[in-house]
Structure 1
Amino acid sequence: MKTNKYLIDFYNNYDEDSRLRLKHGLVEFFTTMRYIEKYIKPNDHVLEVGAGTGRYSHTLARQGYTVDAVELVEHNIEIFNQNTQSDEDITITQGNAKDLSIFPDNKYDMTLLLGPLYHLYSIEDKQQALREAIRVTKQGGVIFAAYVISDGCLLDEGFKRSNINVAEYVEKGLIDSLTFDTKSESKDLFELVCKEDIDNLMSIFPVTRLHYVASDGCALFMREAVDTMDNDTFELYLKYHFATCEREDLLGVTSHAIDIFRK
C-alpha cells in the first residue's frame, strides 16, 4: 500500500526518539505525560497504538505500569526493543491502528493513540482507528488521541520555514485560498486538521471529552528560542504553557493537539 510506503520510508530515516528530547519536543512530551499522570492509576494496563520508538511506552513501563504496544514500522520496533530494559513489563506487536483484533474488547484502562491519526487521510480510516481504540478500552477508561493541527503547521512549516510551499498548495487546491482549510495526501505524510474536524470525527462516538489540549502550543514555531532557553527560563515557559494549553483562544495555535476522552 503506497500510504504505508511513504510512512515507512519517512520513519526509516527520521530520529523520532531524539525529537522528543529537544526542549521544543519536551514541551509536547511533558504536556502529554502531565495529562496521562492525571488519569492513570496504580496497576493500570496501558495500550499504546502507534508507539513509534517507545518514548511513552517505556516511560510508563519504567514507572511500573503494564504496557502493550503496537507499531507499524519495523525500524521503529527494532529501536523500541533496543530501548527495552529488563525490568519493564512491556510487549510490542507489529500491527495497524485500524485493526486491533488481536486484542479483546474492554481490556485496557488507558489507550494511547498518539501517532496513527497523523497518517490517516479519510474520515472512515480515522474513525475506524478511533473505534478500535475505544473498543479495546474498558468502560470508564481513558483514551488519548493526538492530531497534527493545520494552523500551527502552516505558520511554522509553511510561512516561517518554507518546508510547505503554501502558494503551491493553494494553487493545487490543497489549501483553500479563503479559509486556509487543508487537504492532505499520503505523500504529504501528515494529515492536517483543525478542532472542528476533530469534533466532527468524534460526534459519532458515545464518549465524554475530558480535555482538548494544545500539546505543544507555540513551541515548534519558536523552537530556536525554546531550545536555547536556560533551565530556569524553560521551567517558567512550561508553567506558562501548562496554564494556557486549554485556553480556547489559543487552541488553534499549536502544531499538535490531544483529545482526551472517557469511554
Structure 2
Amino acid sequence: MDAKRELQDFYQSYDEEARLASRCGKVEYVTTMHYIQRFLKPGMRILELGAGTGRYSHALARQGYSVDAVELIERNIQQFRQNTREGEPVTIRQGDATDLSWLEDNVYDLTLILGPMYHLFDPEDQRKSLREAVRVTRPGGVLFAAYCMADPALLSTGFVRGKIQDLIAEGLTNPVTFQTFSRPKDIFQLYRKEDIDALRSELPVTQLVFAAADGLGHFMRETIETMEEDVYRPYLDYHLTVCERPDMVGWSHHTLDIFRKNEDAARMGESPGTMEL
C-alpha cells in the first residue's frame, strides 16, 4: 500500500478535530498561535498546507486574514468545510504539499507547513514540500514548518512501553546510534534537530526561531489533562518561557522551525523542478 493510501486509511478513524482540543494538545496549539501572532501584520495573505480540519486556518480567518488552505485527506476537508462560518475569508482545496504548481510564485506573506512534514518519508518529497512552500511565499515572508521528533517517540515507545527490542528487530531503531527509521505504514516520519537543520540549509531562508511546540507534554499527558485551571495556566506560561531553550527542544514531541524567505530569493528560478538552491 502506498503512503497516500496509508494516510487516507489512518485519518478515516483518527479524530484530528479533537487532537488540538485536548488540554495536552492545546499546549501545541497555544504555542503555535503564540508565534504566529508574533509575525502577523494587518493585510497579510496566509497559506496553510496540510490544514487538517482547519483549526489554525479558521482562527486566522476569524481575525480577518485571507487564508487559503490545502489538505490531502478528504475526511478532513469535509470537517474543515463544516467548521467554516459564513463570511470567513478562507478557501480549502484538496492537494499535495509536494506539488503546488497551480499556485504562482511569491504570493503569500505567511505560509504554514504544520502537517506535511509529519507524513513525508522520501527525503526528496520532504525537500519538494519545503521548496514549494518557499516558492509561493513572498521574499521577506515567514514560514512555519512543524516536525515530529525522533527521541521522544523512541523514549515513549521503546522504553516507557518496553518495545525497544521490537523496534530494533523490525529495523526501526539502530541499536548503536538509536537513530529511528519510519515507513509509510508507521504514518509519522520522525526527525532529529540535525535532520531539520539540513533540510533548511538547502533553502534560501534565514532561521528565526526553533521551538518546542509541546515540550514535555507527551510524557506528562495524564498530569496535564487533569490539571486544575490555576495550575494549567501557569504551566502554559512556563512552557512559553522555556520552549526555545536548546536543552528543551529535543524532548518535545513536536517542534516548530520558523524561518524567513530571503529578500533576494525572488531572483532565483523558483518554479517546481527548476529552483536553484
- TM-score in same-fold range (> 0.5): yes
Kindly state the Cα deviation for residue 33 of structure 1 after the two structures are TM-superposed.
Answer: 0.2
Q: Does 1:124 align with 2:124?
A: yes
Task: Name the CA distance, whole Å, in 1 between partners of 2:73 and 2:35.
Answer: 27
Structure 1: gaps spanning 5 or more residues: none
Structure 1 runs (4+) greater than 6 angstroms displaced: none
Task: Name the CA distance, whole Å, in 2 between partners of 1:226 and 1:119.
Answer: 27
CA contact (8 A) 1:68 1:90 kept: yes
Task: Name the CA distance, whole Å, in 2 between partners of 1:158 and 1:79.
Answer: 34
Task: Name the CA distance, whole Å, in 2 between partners of 1:227 and 1:219.
Answer: 10
SS in 2 for 1:219: helix
CA contact (8 A) 1:52 1:77 kept: yes
Kindly state the Cα deviation for residue 161 of structure 1 after the two structures are TM-superposed.
Answer: 4.3
CA contact (8 A) 1:155 1:221 kept: no
Instruction: Please name the residue that 1:156 is paired with.
Output: 156
Computed over aligned residues only, the root mean square deviation of the Cα atoms, in angstroms, reads: 1.1
Instruction: Please name the residue that 2:183 is paired with.
Output: 185
Matched residue type, 1:109: D
Kindly state the Cα deviation for residue 115 of structure 1 after the two structures are TM-superposed.
Answer: 0.5
Kindly state the Cα deviation for residue 159 of structure 1 after the two structures are TM-superposed.
Answer: 2.7
Matched residue type, 1:100: L
Instruction: Please name the residue that 1:75 is paired with.
Output: 75
Matches within 5 A, 1:90-169: 90-161=90-161, 165-169=163-167
TM-score by length of 2: 0.92
Instruction: Please name the residue that 2:223 is paired with.
Output: 225
Matched residue type, 1:193: Y
SS in 1 for 2:117: helix
Percent identity for Structure 1 against Structure 2 = 53
Instruction: Please name the residue that 2:171 is paired with.
Output: 173
CA deviation profile, 1:23-64 (whole Å, cap 9, x unmatched): 100000000000000001111110000000001001101111
Task: Name the CA distance, whole Å, in 1 between partners of 2:51 and 2:221.
Answer: 24
Matches within 5 A, 1:182-261: 182-261=180-259
Task: Name the CA distance, whole Å, in 2 between partners of 1:52 and 1:149.
Answer: 20
Alignment size in residue pairs: 261
TM-score by length of 1: 0.97
Matched residue type, 1:153: A
CA contact (8 A) 1:53 1:80 kept: yes
Task: Name the CA distance, whole Å, in 1 between partners of 2:213 and 2:157.
Answer: 17
Matches within 5 A, 1:12-91: 12-91=12-91
SS in 1 for 2:215: coil
Matched residue type, 1:172: E
Structure 2: gaps spanning 5 or more residues: 262-277
CA deviation profile, 1:54-91 (whole Å, cap 9, x unmatched): 01001101111100000001010000000000021000
